[in-house]
Amino acid sequence: MKAIVWSKILSVGFEEIDEDHRKLVGIFNELNHAVTAGDAADYLAATLEELINCTVWHFSHEERLMLKYRYDGLEEHKAEHRELIQSARELQQQLLQAGQGVAEEQIAFLERWLTGHILTTDQRLGAFLTQRS
């Protein structure tokens, strides 16, 4: 799979969030690159762990901003965050159990997992924050 290239399309228009998203995209690209290069399973597992941990941290950052600026869609957005973490943990569990590398289709899943939320739910939040802050 090709690396995710950061562009205006992914920007939510709010620098504090874009900065986090760029970091997440960077870790995803590292994982994608490692899969293509055939890196060891423990390296792939460590990179996925970093991606998930960084995402957990980033979600709490967004949730704090939603509280700070009294965002209406807070509960809905938080619920989506919970589901995203859950699905990433399930994928991680599968990988650990299988004891093998990350398959192409799992990388494709993670790509949709990452960009899907940024392109929809986070765009709404970004537009709101830009107006309010």
Residues binding Fe ion (CB under 5 A): 62, 122
Token pair for 6: 């950061």
Helix (H, G, I), strand (E, B) or coil at 6: coil
> Min. distance of Cβ 77 from Fe ion in angstroms?
6
Burial of 44 (0-12, 13-18, 19+ CB in 10 A): buried
Within 10 angstroms of residue 5's Cβ, the number of other Cβ atoms is 9
Q: How far apart are CA 24 and CA 51, in angstroms?
A: 7
Nearer to Fe ion by C-beta: 35 or 121? 121
Closest to Fe ion by CB, 40 or 119: 119
Which of residues 10 and 34 has its CB atom nearest to Fe ion in the complex? 10
| CB 125 to Fe ion: min, Å | 6
Min separation Cβ 8 and Fe ion, Å:
18
CB closer to Fe ion out of 6 and 43: 6
Of residues 123, 117, 114, the one with CA closest to residue 31: 114
